[in-house]
């Protein structure tokens, strides 16, 4: 066996053909979405710091909002988020207090030979044959129907 070597760039396993038109559209829409996200972030940050830019003011005027309206909206959203966090944390605390002492999640013990044979689904000879042999061929199904 030879020594491992670095693979050449032309020997890649996966080769794909990309259409330059679709790649251009993907890039354009990606830039468009990033620009929209930046505008939204600037919209909220400018109202928090009372910064008035002509473009941001245009957006605020089109929505008929002031910096105070945006700050009160952010305050309400923050309070709702805080109440959800406190509610989920208290629910976790309640569940730990109520159900924390239960030991439910344990793996079952290993099944013994006596338990399997007590089911009376197969004879002891067939069971021993299955346990000891690597390859077993049965003429008929050894499992009995109840």
pLDDT digits (tens, 9 = 90+) for 32-56: 999 999 989 988 999 999 888 888 8
Q: Which residue has the higher pLDDT, 2 or 120?
A: 120
- Which pLDDT value is given to residue 14? 66
Rg over CA atoms, the chain: 34
- Which pLDDT value is given to residue 6? 57
Q: Distance (Å, rounded) from C-alpha 37 to C-alpha 91?
A: 34
Query: What is the mean predicted confidence (pLDDT) over 50-73?
Result: 88
Q: Distance (Å, rounded) from C-alpha 84 to C-alpha 92?
A: 12
* Neighbour-count burial of 47, counting CB atoms closer than 10 A to its CB (0-12 exposed, 13-18 middle, 19+ buried): buried
What pTM value is reported for the model? 0.49
Are the C-beta atoms of 130 and 136 separated by less than 8 Å? yes
**Does the pLDDT of residue 27 top 90, yes or no?**
yes
Query: What is the mean predicted confidence (pLDDT) over 6-34?
Result: 81
Query: What is the mean predicted confidence (pLDDT) over 120-129?
Result: 88
Q: How far is CA 67 from CA 16, 48, 54, 55, 130, in A?
A: 50, 7, 14, 14, 79
Question: If pLDDT is split at 50, 70 and 90, which confidence band does 1 have?
Answer: very low
Q: Which residue has the higher pLDDT, 60 or 11?
A: 60
- Which pLDDT value is given to residue 8? 58
């Amino acid at each position: 066996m030879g020594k491992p070597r670095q693979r050449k760039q032309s020997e890649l396993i996966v080769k794909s053909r990309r259409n330059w038109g679709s790649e251009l559209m993907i890039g354009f829409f990606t830039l468009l979405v990033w620009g929209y996200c930046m505008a939204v972030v600037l919209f909220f940050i400018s109202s928090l710091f009372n910064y008035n830019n002509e473009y941001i003011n245009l957006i605020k005027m089109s929505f008929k909002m002031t910096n105070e309206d945006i700050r009160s909206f952010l305050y309400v959203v923050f309070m709702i988020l805080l109440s959800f966090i406190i509610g989920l944390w208290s629910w976790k605390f309640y569940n730990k207090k109520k159900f924390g002492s239960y030991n439910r999640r344990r793996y079952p013990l290993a099944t013994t030979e006596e338990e399997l044979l007590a089911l009376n689904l197969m004879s002891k000879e067939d069971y021993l044959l299955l346990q000891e042999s690597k390859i077993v061929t049965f003429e008929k199904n050894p499992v009995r129907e109840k």
